[in-house]
Amino acid sequence: MDKPQPNDHGGWMRYAMQLAQRSPPKPTNFRVGAVVVDASNNIMATGYTLEFQDNVHAEQVCFMKLAREFDVPEDKLQDKLPSGLSLYTTMEPCSKRLSGNLPCVKRVLRLKSCIKTVYVGVVEPETFVAKNTGKQELQDAGIEVVHVPGLEDDILKIATAGHIQG
């Protein structure tokens, strides 16, 4: 995968889509890809759904990798990361986890001093959790949420691979 140019939000979303395609298709998960980019257009971390064990989401994988890289618990990352980060994720970060894991929105909010913008490809369909409030929670905390248009159909095709179509 080639690294997109600065401010090529469509390019970064396509990059995240390629990551999402690595996620195993399952009827109980969306296949999501995420990438954290610094202010100089460098990739800080990438992730995709179920990249690690224990039902992890794409954003969670990014933060787990960064915590390992900086040798801190994930809830202390804000002390190590630079400001001005962008998070590209193919799907709106979840506001509730049926598994009991910390929702991705809460993970992003812990990094609100570092992450200035979250770029999303699609809002979360109501398949598993109705009325995801992720976008609103991020905006209320001062994090800009930007929809990257034009890739919705392709993102949803990737995300729902493995789902039973009814």
φ and ψ at residue 58, rounded to 5 degrees: -60, -45
pTM: 0.94
Q: What is the pLDDT of residue 138?
A: 96
Would you name the residues annotated as active-site residues?
A: 59
Written as six digits, the tokens of 139 are: 């905006």
Architecture of domain 9-159: 3-Layer(aba) Sandwich (3.40)
Residue 128: predicted pLDDT: 59
What residues does each domain of the chain span?
Answer: 9-159
- Single-letter code of the amino acid located at 122: V
Place of tokens 């630079």: 82
Within the chain, which residues score under 70 in pLDDT? Answer: 125-130, 165-166
Which candidate, 63, 70, 148, 48, places its Cα nearest to that of 110? 63
- Give the tens place of pLDDT for each residue, 61-101: 999 999 999 999 999 999 999 999 999 999 999 988 877 78
Cβ atoms within 10 Å of 152's Cβ, excluding its own: 14
In sequence order, which residues have a C-beta less than 8 Å from that of residue 28 and are 6 or more positions away?
128
